[in-house]
Amino acid sequence: MPKTFSRDLARANLKRGEGEEKMATENSSRPLKHYTSIKNLFKILDAGYLLLSSPEKWDDINDQTGLQAFCRLKGKGIKAGVLSFANGEESIHHWEAFDKDKNGDSCAISFDRDEILKQAKGNNFLCKGMTYKQKITAKELKNMDYDEIPFLKLNQFKCESEYRIIWFGKGKVPRISFKREAIKRITLSPKIPKTKCEKLQDEIEKKYGIKPVLARAMENGPWIRMLNQLGRRG
Tally the residues of the chain: 234
Q: Quote the DSSP letter at residue 53.
A: B
Long-range contacts of 115-118 (CB under 8 A, 24+ apart): 115/178, 115/179, 115/181, 115/182, 116/32, 116/50, 116/85, 116/165, 116/176, 116/178, 116/182, 117/165
- pLDDT tens-place string over residues 59-107: 889 999 999 999 999 999 999 999 999 987 777 777 877 776 667 788 9
Per-residue pLDDT for 217 more than 70? yes
A 10 A CB-CB count for 90 gives: 17
A 10 A CB-CB count for 205 gives: 13
Q: Quote the DSSP letter at residue 52.
A: P
Distances (CA, A) of 137 to 96, 118, 210: 31, 35, 48
Q: What is the per-residue burial (b if ≥16 Cβ within 10 Å, else e) of 114-138?
A: ebbbebbeeebbbbebbebeeeeee
> pTM of the entire structure?
0.81
Decide if 86 contacts 163 (C-beta within 8 A): yes
Q: What pLDDT does 95 receive?
A: 81
Q: How far is CA 72 from the centre of its chain?
A: 26
- pLDDT tens-place string over residues 96-150: 777 766 677 889 999 999 999 999 999 999 999 999 999 999 999 999 999 999 9
27 band by pLDDT with thresholds 50, 70 and 90: low
Mean pLDDT of the chain: 85
Distances (CA, A) of 189 to 52, 78, 108, 128, 205: 23, 37, 8, 26, 17
Q: Which residues contact 12 (CB under 8 A, 6 or more apart)?
A: none
Decide if 85 contacts 33 (C-beta within 8 A): yes
- pLDDT tens-place string over residues 201-214: 999 999 999 999 98
Share of the chain above pLDDT 90, in %: 60
Mean pLDDT of 165-175: 95
Per-residue pLDDT for 24 more than 60? no
Q: What pLDDT does 154 receive?
A: 92
